[in-house]
Amino acid sequence: MPDFEEVAERVWVARYEWADANVTAIGSDRGLVVVDTHGSTAAGRVVLDDLHRLGAGPVAAVVNTHWHWDHSFGNAAFREQDPDLPIHAHEDAAAMLAEKGEYMKGRFAESDDPHRDDVVATELVIPDHIFSSTRVLDLGDRTVELVFPGRGHTSGDLVVRVPDVDVMLAGDLVEESAKPWIGLDSYVFDWPGTLDLVVAMATTETRIVPGHGIVVDRTFVDDQRDELVAIAETVRMLAGSGVPVDRAVAEGTWPWESDERIANAVTRGYEALPPSSRSLPLA
Ligand SMILES: [Zn+2]
């Protein structure tokens, strides 16, 4: 059972083994803001137990950094404790969870994942406090900013800033313990520019909590951005030189060993490019 570790004054991060998921709690006079709720109602209840042991006050609000199951499927556990608890997210994250949440549960139902039954039993709770660009949470003695820096890992990733301690929570726009997950709901051409904004909001001192892995700094995010630039440029180059989509993964030179992420980047990139840039004659 992980403990919440204080990474800055009254900002605690717990790193859970399942999905190597980070959950962050931000303390204030008005209670805790909990960012991400892990992957099932049962897992969310474990987070609540761990928060109880932390003893830093009741939960005042929940934030989902994006719609993915390992960040939002624990929401129901928090609502069990407080039916009026506000759950914040970007409007696209709420829409995607409503649209795709049951599909994700179905994927687990068909798998032999050890957490399958917990996920299948999970009641989806869609964030009810949505916004499009920015939102400030006034917590009395501290403010927390929710910022939508643009599309990337999904269409609705938000970044949480805690300005008084120079901390930023980047969700899965940044990953430390693995390469950033490029999925079939990712935006490969937007992601680097989105990270430009994340980097611009950071100082050299900013502690950046990724969705998965340990705290990083601005330089780390800048380096991860460069890898995503290389992927986007390679996809654009392959499509522009007429390489068919089914040969693109093999013919590209990628910043890391080609994997499902790279395959997804090719799929998504080719989908996003206008047909003319895919069918340019070679001569
Ligand atoms: Zn994710």
Dist. CA 243 → ligand 1 center (Å):
29
Dist. CA 172 → ligand 1 center (Å):
5
Dist. CA 1 → ligand 1 center (Å):
22
125 forms beta bridges with: none
pLDDT of residue 16: 98
Dist. CA 179 → ligand 1 center (Å):
12
pLDDT of residue 3: 87
pLDDT of residue 280: 55
Residue 100 corresponds to which tokens in the numbers above?
């795709």
Dist. CA 181 → ligand 1 center (Å):
7
How confident is the model over 219-258, as pLDDT tens digits? 999 999 999 999 999 999 999 999 999 999 999 999 999 9
Dist. CA 280 → ligand 1 center (Å):
34
Dist. CA 176 → ligand 1 center (Å):
13
Dist. CA 183 → ligand 1 center (Å):
8
Residue 19 corresponds to which tokens in the numbers above?
């999905």
Residue 47 corresponds to which tokens in the numbers above?
């987070």
45 contacts 123 by C-beta, under 8 angstroms: no
Count the Cβ atoms, other than its own, within 10 Å of residue 111: 11
Q: How many CA atoms lie within 13 A of 24 on its CB side?
A: 29
Dist. CA 242 → ligand 1 center (Å):
31
Dist. CA 37 → ligand 1 center (Å):
12
12 contacts 4 by C-beta, under 8 angstroms: yes
Dist. CA 124 → ligand 1 center (Å):
16
The string of DSSP letters for the chain reads -PPPEEEETTEEEEEETGGGEEEEEE--TT-EEEE---SSHHHHHHHHHHHHHHTS--EEEEE-SSS-HHHHTTHHHHHHH-TT--EEEEHHHHHHHHHHHHHHHHHHHTS--TTHHHHHTPPP---SEEESSEEEEE-SS-EEEEE---SSSSS---EEEEGGGTEEEEEEEEESSSS----TT--TTTHHHHHHHHHHH--TT-EEEEEESS-B-HHHHHHHHHHHHHHHHHHHHHHHTT--HHHHHHHS--SS---HHHHHHHHHHHHHS-HHHHS----
Angle between helices 191-201 and 218-240 (to 10 degrees): 160
Question: Is the entire prediction scored with pTM above 0.85?
Answer: yes
* Residue 260, phi then psi, degrees to nearest 5: -60, -30
Q: How many CA atoms lie within 13 A of 147 on its CB side?
A: 21
Dist. CA 125 → ligand 1 center (Å):
17
Nearest alpha carbon to residue 74 among 32, 28, 18, 112: 18
Dist. CA 20 → ligand 1 center (Å):
12
Nearest alpha carbon to residue 188 among 108, 270, 256, 74: 270
* Residue 130, phi then psi, degrees to nearest 5: -110, 160
Residues of the chain with pLDDT under 70: 1-2, 276-283
Dist. CA 283 → ligand 1 center (Å):
41
pLDDT of residue 274: 78
Dist. CA 174 → ligand 1 center (Å):
10
Dist. CA 276 → ligand 1 center (Å):
32
pLDDT of residue 277: 60
